[in-house]
Amino acid sequence: MKAKRDERPAELDPTTRAAIVRALVEHGVMVVDPDRTYVGEGVEVAPGTVLYPGTHLRGRTSVASECRIGPDTWIEDSTIEPGATVRYSVVEGSRVRAGSNVGPYAHLRPGADIGPEARIGNFVEVKAARIEHGVKAGHLAYIGDAQVGPEANIGAGTVTCNYDGAEKHRTVIESGAFIGSNTALVAPVTIGEDAVVAAGSTITDDVPPRSKAFGRARQVNKPGTSEEGTSHDR
């Protein structure tokens, strides 16, 4: 249903806010803690969805059925499709497709399009990027100005280096690609289908499909003892 419009922002008027939440509950939305749930004017929430404490829904936001939103989540001007979960996260001007899981502590910035059935984990930031079916970005990554194909895996610490100081450039990661941890993808660059990028790499050239890319210096071990140049408590 659509929340009732009011002359003042709903979150500034306790009476209006309570009426909006009450109407949602009557329509079949489960609101765990009405006193800590904030639904702005014009927001739509479908029956069967659960809103946990600390949820803020603002602007032109719509939440479909069977979603789990919150706790402590801010969603503004975004579309959340059936069966999606968003926890402890900020979602702005984005789309979360059916069955996707966002959070905790993720940030979807304008133009993020996630899923279906994708996983955006803790401390992952996505901006102006299409993340396709089944993609997993579990933690600590920045994906901006990118296209990520189905079933790709984005390792921790991966960054799409999209800005060269003057212009933005796009990164393309094709289906089934595996991006190792602490990888810098310097756009414009394409990672081919089912390719593997080794952890710790800086990738500046396209990686062909079904190949492996290593963009790091070889480890060098120097002889010597741990006491040289190091002080130890005795």
All domains of the chain, ordered by start, with CATH?
Answer: 1-77 (2.160.10.10), 105-209 (2.160.10.10)
The DSSP call for residue 83 is T
Strand partners, 155: none
Q: Residue 34 above 60 pLDDT?
A: yes
Residues 6+ apart with CB under 8 A from 75: 55, 56, 57, 58, 61, 63, 69, 86, 90, 91
Average pLDDT rounded to a whole number, residues 193-217: 96
Q: Residue 8 above 60 pLDDT?
A: no
Say what the pLDDT of residue 11 is. Answer: 60
Residues 6+ apart with CB under 8 A from 177: 149, 152, 153, 191, 192, 193, 194, 195, 196, 197
Q: CB-based burial of residue 123 (10 Å sphere; 0-12 exposed, 13-18 middle, 19+ buried)?
A: middle
Residue 13's pLDDT band (boundaries 50, 70, 90)?
confident
Say what the pLDDT of residue 6 is. Answer: 42
Say what the pLDDT of residue 234 is. Answer: 46
Helix, strand, coil percentages for the chain (3-state, nearest 5): 10, 40, 55
Average pLDDT rounded to a whole number, residues 75-103: 98
Say what the pLDDT of residue 206 is. Answer: 98
Report residue 194 as tokens.
């089912």
- Region of 77 (left: φ > 0; alpha: ψ -120 to 50; beta: rest) is left
| b/e map 2-15, b = 16+ CB within 10 Å | ebeebeeebbeeee
Say what the pLDDT of residue 152 is. Answer: 98
Say what the pLDDT of residue 14 is. Answer: 85
Average pLDDT rounded to a whole number, residues 17-40: 95
Say what the pLDDT of residue 41 is. Answer: 87
Alpha carbon 169 to chain centroid, angstroms: 20
Nearest to 182 by CA among 150, 154, 151: 154
Give whole-number Cα distances, 60 to 15, 95, 195, 203, in Å.
21, 12, 39, 38
Summarize pLDDT for 99-150 with one digit per residue, the tens. 999 999 999 999 999 999 999 999 999 999 999 999 999 999 999 999 999 9
Summarize pLDDT for 207-231 with one digit per residue, the tens. 999 999 999 888 889 898 656 554 4
Active site residue 139: yes
Query: Which listed residue (27, 107, 139, 169) is catalytic?
Result: 139
Global confidence as pTM: 0.90
Q: Are 186 and 175 in contact (CB under 8 A)?
A: no
